[in-house]
Amino acid sequence: MTTANCSRLEELTAKYRELHGTEPEILVRAPGRVNLIGEHVDYNDGFVFPAAIDRDVMIAAGRRTDRQVKLHAMNFNQSSTFTLDGVQPATDGRERWSNYLRAMAWVFHDEGLGTAGINAVLLGDVPLGAGLSSSAAMLVASGNTFAAAAGLEIDPVRMALLAQRGEREFVGVNVGIMDMYISALGQKDHALLIDTRSLTFEAVPLPETGVSIVIADTNKKRGLVDSEYNTRRAECEHAVELLREHIPGIKALRDVTPAQFEQYASVLPEVTRKRARHVITEDERTLESVAALKSGDIARFGELMNGSHESLRIDYEVSCKELDAMVEAARSIEGVYGARMTGAGFGGCTVSLVADTAVERFLDEVPALYKKATGLTSTIYVTTAAQGAQVLN
């Protein structure tokens, strides 16, 4: 853990002692993530290439003797209480953050897993609404907390699936598996090439020296529930239905080769065709980018990142003027290999692969260029690939 994370852990445990008069029995953390390439393909059974980041959600908890769950979120200075019997979404908008814990309690009960009442205090430093998967970090951290309280050992892949179900069926966002998977299974100093159909992965080491991952938050907030995420998913499913008439046996856009797409693209309505083209070409870019990284061709990896952003902007139409301005500002810096939006889009963050020698210039110049273009102040993070979820005690 970083020095900053150790300091946050001390702050968290001190708050738990203040509220409950005892030391927490359970300490859990789960990180957010940045996706280097492979965007909007996880719900199309495609290939993604994310890394866990050194920002996370931490939970300090202790078991109760009843079925109550009593929560306090330090970030909002808000508390929420619910019972494990018949879990319902929070009706008070100020307690909306608690729905991620309620979701995991609901999923555990519905799957026949044991649950125990807890007192819990939460503290997170994954930026909210920035596309760095604060929601996945909340879900995975919550799941590990409930598991520890009930004395359960749950395989990390199953935990990711439980978290995905919670966000889909309780929170109401029809998400893919990537965010929960990387939060649960991330590896320090590696990105994971994840096959979202088989749920297998390959850990690919990131360069130890020479390049940095730089995340730039546009501070244009967006919420997945309110975005067009579910619409994009439905458009992809419609494309599969139409293409299946010509390519029997396909289950998802992942099964369509670029050659097949070119052959049958004309059967798709224009918008549907654009969505399908992004997914099919993005899968190709992701696999090629991993091959480039393995061979040490960072310049090619950067070119593929750039191509990903253009596809997301033109074909998938999930970028926005703020994301485009940030990407343009990043690409203007010599030593930036590639830059693209990351996450669901409509705001949030970009990710850039930056030569170490250019990081200082990036930090100095990109915020000013972005503010001149948009009037907004940005937040820049130089990050490293972190370990996935952990029960710390």
**pLDDT at site 5:** 78
**pLDDT at site 181:** 97
| pTM for the whole structure | 0.92
Report whether pLDDT(371) > 90. yes
Which fold does the domain 3-205 belong to in CATH?
A: Ribosomal Protein S5; domain 2 (3.30.230)
- How does the average pLDDT of the chain come out, rounded? 95
Buried b (16+ CB within 10 A) or exposed e, 241-279: ebbeeebeebebbbbbeeeebeebbeebeeebbbbbbbb
**pLDDT at site 262:** 97
Report whether pLDDT(356) > 60. yes
Domain ranges of the chain: 3-205
Is residue 389 a contact partner of residue 156, using CB atoms and an 8 Å limit?
yes
Over residues 329-342, mean pLDDT? 97
Q: Report the catalytic residues.
A: 179
